[in-house]
A and B are shown apart, each in its own frame.
Chain A
Amino acid sequence: MEPIINDFTFNIATANGTGSQSANLILLQTMFEMGVPVSGKNLFPSNISGLPTWYIIRVSDDGYQAPGDRTHIQVLMNKVTWEKDVAALEAGTIVIYNTDVKMPVERDDLVLYPIPMTKIARGLNPKLARMISNMVYVGVIAEIIGLDQSVLETAIIKQFDGKTKAIELNSTAITLGREYVAENFEEMCPYVIESREKDPDAFIIDGNKAVALGSIFGGVTMLSWYPITPSTSIAEDIISYLPSLRTDEDGNLTCAVIQTEDELAAAGMVVGAGWAGGRAMTCTSGPGISLMSEFVGLAYFSEVPGVIWDVNRAGPSTGLPTRTQQGDLSMLFELGHGDTKHIVLIPGNMAECFEFGWRAFDLAERYQTIVFGFSDLDLGMNRWVCKGFDYPEKVDRGKVLHSQSEIDAIGNFGRYRDIDGDGICYRTLPGSGLEPILYRGTGRDEDGAYSENPEVYVANMERLKRKINGARTVLPQPILREEPEKQVGIIYYGSMENTIQEIDDVLESTGLKVSQCRIRSLPISPVVEEFVASHEQIIVLEVNRDGQLYGILRKELPINLVPRVHSVAYSDGLPTRARKYADMIREKLLEVMP
């Protein structure tokens, strides 16, 4: 039997609320600590207990992070999905299953590891048998793929945060699983884990935590939030880190946190805090963004800074609330009634989640507008390898006047007068006593006084457009990886970053070399236009139905470039899989290329 080293995918089928997440994270952490490139995807239901959950672990020396195209090792714990899970397997798949579920595996082309997991667990602690049985499969897997026992034990200690009783119990269950395999089965699994040299800087983190930490280092002074999957942990992580990172010498906090009555209030508080001179943020998902729409328009028009993170889940409506999508992009870009355009930051990895976390505040105060952070469930809630965070650049509080002499130096100050010609006006803060105005969502002149004058309105709207356009070269610029052939270019963004290299390799294996352009902000940079102009065909690759970035590009690119731009968009709620998108790209190119 030829061993297959560090190149396979696990699928672990359990029910949620049974403690399987701990078991899965111990597996992930152990392999990570052994230096093996690994990624984990949690496919969970919108439910607290009892519904089907799958955890997919991809092991790949090539560094591929998307779920693979097939399952190599299947764990079966859940009666409900059992038959479908078995039916979906390719011949030769290793199947580790709990015989106490009393479900058959009626196929003779699979490699079977029947294990009485519940019985083993019951022997340890009858009350906790259901939870401990998950640890038994950890032991089984550890034995058959060769996980290092000492690294495994360290991962258990980390997972249970030093709680002695839990560590002992779970550790014993894992050992019993190992022993059961050693005593009852011949070696029949080709899949093997081999240690690699671990990067000492690397750690595992989810995108929401990285955004939370970035926001704390960005100087957030107010977080207003309403719980919604998959954004909730941004707020909870901020709350958990504030005592250690944002307490002053008197023991008081330098950031207010308010759990609100709804997302309208969350957005309203962001606007109020930004108006009063704070660095304010909220985090939500699509349904929350819908509710925040009116406030975002107010902030755009009255020019108040604020940060809103959208961790996208599959819409429309309640949609698939625990599944991923890039379906809110066009909504964010033009949120609100009337003509609006917003700055959107789109991180594609953990370091960028942190960086855009702090940078969002600088940009919001520089441009006196709402800045969106656009993440998704895959990036936000799944765990990714990260090598570290760079300390932020100097704080930029934007054009705020703090003294009468500064106002005198300007001469003809007006809250909405464009003194510098960049569309960005100077502001004064409540409490300063300097040039007070009544902020409003109604039309107003350059001094902030109510006006319905058509010329005044047009001048103001044109200035707002100029202001946001000015950010195009300042925002995080696209990342390009160009092939000398410059035949086909792929434009993509966000969490697709974690699949693009594998897509690229799949395409290259069919003889197609593609350039890549990852967009990291809206409105788009001029670099994107250059990229489009320098390639014969452009594919805009995204995780939604309608090709939302494609739509934005059609509007933003010069008309002569539009015919070479094509959309490949697909979303089924699952994390992106390379083969699916690679096939769609090839089909599209066959269709459009001469």
Chain B
Amino acid sequence: MKLNIIDLPKDDYKGGPSSLCPGCGHDQISNVVINAAWENGIEPDRIAKMSGIGCSSKTPAYFLGKSHGFNTLHGRMPSVTTGANVTNKDLHFIAVSGDGDTASIGIGQFVHAIRRNLNMVYIIENNGVYGLTKGQYSATVEKGSQKRKAKMNESPPIDLCAMAINLGCTFVARSFSGSKKQLTSLMKAAMSHRGTAIIDVISPCVTFNNNDESFRSYGYVKDNQTELHSYDFIPKFKPITEVEVPEGEYRDITLFDGSILRLETIGSDHDPSDAVNALSHIHHAEQEQKHVTGLLYHNPVPKTLDEMLNLSNTPLAELSDDMIRPSEENLEALLSELRS
């Protein structure tokens, strides 16, 4: 049996059987999460998987069965993750949300999690519709897109990546559930990042939004995807000398845990430290009715929330009783201060 760097089989990273529609993009993303966590050698014990409500938010049941998880409330996954994160800052938080969960009911919590640079991987499984309530448009649906048996959408979309970049998010990527290799590299990189890592994954809804007129159908995305780079993820435990040097131009991005994401130039050479250029790519893609995918933005510098809070080195959940309760002498001193 094949084992990963910490001697665990892939089965230790799998979850229960999926109950989503056959062919759902979300199941492909679940498989990528399983592969990325396994190949990165993260201990399943040390992962907390989080989600909100919706089709996408059901998926934590389908991966990482040996990890604790919390399927929370609609749009409120970020706040629950925040509380858990500051309580046990050493856990890896892998969170799943959808476009309804994030771009509508949960947009406030999405914004503020980013603003705090909460240390988490935040996956948005973005299909442009509400699946569980049978196919209403969500707020990410493109102007001009049309789902099955419905009128064309005329409102402009909320682009979650553009929003994240504007908010100072420290890792912003867009991918496609059908681009397994790209998504896996970006997922591994996100897991190696410290801070909020947003991956907005276009994940077609095969039941309600996979018709030709939809900008989020499999066919449309395959034909209209603009990839920024092609990626190689080089894990921290693999000596760089063993990695084949690509023939064309490339740029290496060193991630927090020492892993490297190697960006090989395809078209224009996008520098992911350039937020303005990233926004420009998003803007042009929208104008041309395309989807730009890849690592849009990366900034390893800002502190994370737990760092800003100046917390004990020991996770707060593991502090002993005498660490969290001041002594009797403390109380006596306090009372005499109040009495003086």
A interface with B by C-beta (< 8 Å): 200-203, 205, 213, 216-222, 224, 245-246, 248, 250, 252-258, 260-262, 264-280, 294-295, 298, 302, 388-389, 391-392, 394-395, 397, 428-433, 436-442, 450
| Closest chain A CB from B242 CB (angstroms) | 32
Tell me whether A256 and B73 are in contact in the complex, defined as CB-CB below 8 angstroms, given that A216-B326, A430-B91 are known contacts: no
A429 and B43 CA atoms in complex are apart in Å by: 15
Nearest A residue to B44 via CB reads A433
Instruction: Flag if A276 contacts B69 (CB, 8 Å).
Output: no
B76 part of interface (Cβ distance < 8 Å): yes
In the bound assembly, the distance between CA atoms of A224 and B118 in angstroms comes to 15
Do A277 and B317 have beta carbons less than 8 Å apart?
yes
Task: Name 9 extra pairs, CB < 8 A, besides A274-B83, A431-B68, A441-B72.
Answer: A203-B338, A222-B83, A270-B83, A271-B80, A277-B88, A389-B335, A431-B88, A436-B45, A438-B70
Q: Which of B71, B317, B319, B321 gathers most chain A CB within 10 Å?
A: B317
A433 and B73 alpha carbons, distance in the complex (Å): 24
Interface centre among B315, B326, B330 (most CB of A within 10 A): B326
| Interfacial residues, chain B to chain A (CB-CB below 8 A) | 43-46, 48-49, 60-61, 65-73, 76, 78-88, 90-91, 108-109, 111-112, 116, 305-306, 309-313, 315-319, 321, 323-326, 328, 330-331, 334-335, 338-339
Q: How far is the CB of B74 from chain A (nearest CB, A)?
A: 9
Q: When the two chains form their complex, are residues A245 and B321 in contact, meaning their CB atoms are under 8 A apart? A: no
Considering the chains assembled together, what is the distance between the CA atoms of A255 and B310 in angstroms? Answer: 9
Is A252's CB under 8 angstroms from B68's CB?
Answer: no
Number of inter-chain CB pairs below 8 Å: 213
Identify the closest chain A residue to B316 (Cβ). A221
Known: A275-B70, A276-B88. A222 touches B316 (CB 8 A): yes
Q: Known contacts A255-B316, A264-B79; is A280 also within 8 Å of B73 by CB?
A: no
Name the A residues within 8 Å of B324 (CB-CB): 219-221, 246, 254-255, 279, 395
Q: Complex: how many Å from CA A245 to CA B325?
A: 9
What distance in Å separates the Cβ of B312 from its nearest Cβ neighbour in chain A?
5
Smallest Cβ distance from A127 to chain B, in angstroms? 33
Known A268-B79, A272-B81; contact A222-B86, beta-carbon cutoff 8 A: yes
Chain B residues within 8 Å of A431, by CB = 45-46, 48, 68, 88, 90-91, 315, 317
Residues of A within 8 A of B335 (CB): 203, 388-389
Cα distance A264–B72 in the bound complex, in angstroms: 13
8 A-B pairs with least C-beta separation? A268-B79, A272-B83, A433-B45, A277-B317, A219-B324, A269-B83, A273-B83, A278-B87
Task: Give the chain B neighbours of A219 by CB distance below 8 A.
Answer: 321, 324-325
For B328, give the chain A residue with the smallest CB separation: A391
> Is the CB–CB distance between B87 and A261 below 8 Å?
no
Least Cβ distance of B285 to chain A in Å? 30
Residues of B within 8 A of A430 (CB): 48, 67-68, 84, 88, 91
A254–B317 CA distance with the chains assembled, in angstroms: 10
Contact flag A265-B109 (CB < 8 Å), given A272-B82, A438-B49, A442-B71:
yes
Is there contact, CB below 8 Å, between B61 and A450?
Answer: yes
A439 to B324, CA, bound (A): 26
A441 CB → nearest B CB, Å: 7
Q: How far is the CB of B300 from chain A (nearest CB, A)?
A: 23
Minimum CB–CB distance from B266 to chain A (whole Å) comes to 39
Query: Could you list 28 examples of A-B contacts with CB < 8 Å?
Result: A200-B339, A217-B326, A222-B86, A222-B316, A224-B83, A245-B330, A248-B323, A250-B313, A254-B311, A256-B306, A264-B108, A268-B83, A272-B70, A272-B72, A276-B83, A276-B84, A277-B318, A278-B87, A294-B76, A389-B335, A397-B321, A429-B68, A431-B68, A431-B88, A436-B45, A439-B69, A440-B70, A442-B71
Which of A256, A262, A302 is the one whose CB lies under 8 Å from B309?
A256
**Given A217-B325, A278-B316, A389-B335 in contact, is the A436-B66 Cβ separation under 8 Å?**
yes
Q: Is the CB of B48 within 8 A of A253?
A: no
Known contacts being A260-B112, A295-B76, is A438 close to B45, with CB within 8 Å?
A: no
Docked-complex contact B83 and A252, CB < 8 angstroms: no
Contact of A272 among B45, B85, B339 (CB under 8 A): B85
Known: A265-B109, A436-B69. A250 touches B312 (CB 8 A): yes
Q: Report B-chain residues with C-beta under 8 Å of the C-beta of A269.
A: 79-80, 82-83, 86
Q: Of all chain B residues, which has the CB nearest A306?
A: B83
Known: A271-B80, A276-B87, A391-B328. A254 touches B319 (CB 8 A): yes
Closest to A442 in B: B71
In the bound assembly, the distance between CA atoms of A279 and B317 in angstroms comes to: 8
Most buried by A among B85, B323, B324: B324
Give A354 Cβ to nearest chain B Cβ, in Å.
10
Q: Please, how many angstroms separate the alpha-carbon atoms of A192 and B318 in the complex?
A: 58
- For A264, list chain B residues within 8 Å (CB): 76, 79, 108-109
CA distance A276 to B87 in the complex (A): 6
Quote the shortest CB–CB distance from B97 to chain A (angstroms): 13
Nearest-CB distance from B110 to chain A (Å)? 10
